[in-house]
Amino acid sequence: MKTIDKLLSEKMMTLVRSNSQSEGQALADAIVEAGVKVIEITLTTPGAHKIIEKLLKNKDLLVGAGTVRTVKEVKKMEDIGVSFIVSPNTNEDVIAATKKLNLVSLPGVSTPSEVAIAEESGADILKLFPATILGPDHLKMLREPFPGNRWCPTAGITLDSIPKWFQAGADLVGLGGPVTKDGVSGVSKNVLAFRNAINEASKVVYRHEVSQ
């Protein structure tokens, strides 16, 4: 399965952002043990590249790098072996470098201008960021003048908001703190709760589309 197809199939991109390599590794391991097949390790996490290298040993796992802000970082992550690149911002050079290296590009966008730049630069999936501040209605309005894009709202997604995001047009959601907020011991429970909420929301949206 192609990287982009697996991302869209999973509908959930779980990310790790931590203040230490040991905690980051422990959270990543717990996420994988909970059955997650797509994981993003943010480069702000100490020792992120080592965590990524360890995760890549699992051939059933799709691993990406997050908070990628420079072309140099893109190239380094490609050398390590990641499949997708996630950024908090819209950087034409980062998107171009990502696509040149045949990686999937997920730049952060929040405004119509940023969406236009990301779209023209060849981004694969648009990461609506920060989702908790912008809200589902913002996504709805952005989709109208920019149809045909794939969307991944990220930051501050809650269980209660999942149905609203998918009804607004999200293809998948980025989950960091909502999954890891309770520490390693709470990861499995949170992953299961979000997985169930996403599956149910997706069914409702699908039934609505079929009935149109």
Query: Which residues are part of the catalytic machinery?
Result: 40, 127
Residue labelled with tokens 């590794």: 25
Token digits of residue 84: 């997708």
Q: How many CA atoms lie within 13 A of 184 on its CB side?
A: 11
> For 16, phi and psi rounded to 5 degrees?
-115, 125
The helix (run of H) or strand (run of E) holding residue 21 is helix 21-33
Closest CA to 124 of 106, 109, 110: 106
Regarding beta strands 127-128 and 84-86, do their DSSP bridges make them parallel or antiparallel, or are they unpaired?
Answer: unpaired
Asked if residues 157 and 178 have their Cβ atoms less than 8 Å apart, the reply is yes
Angstrom distance (rounded) from CA 101 to CA 79? 10
Asked if residues 30 and 5 have their Cβ atoms less than 8 Å apart, the reply is no
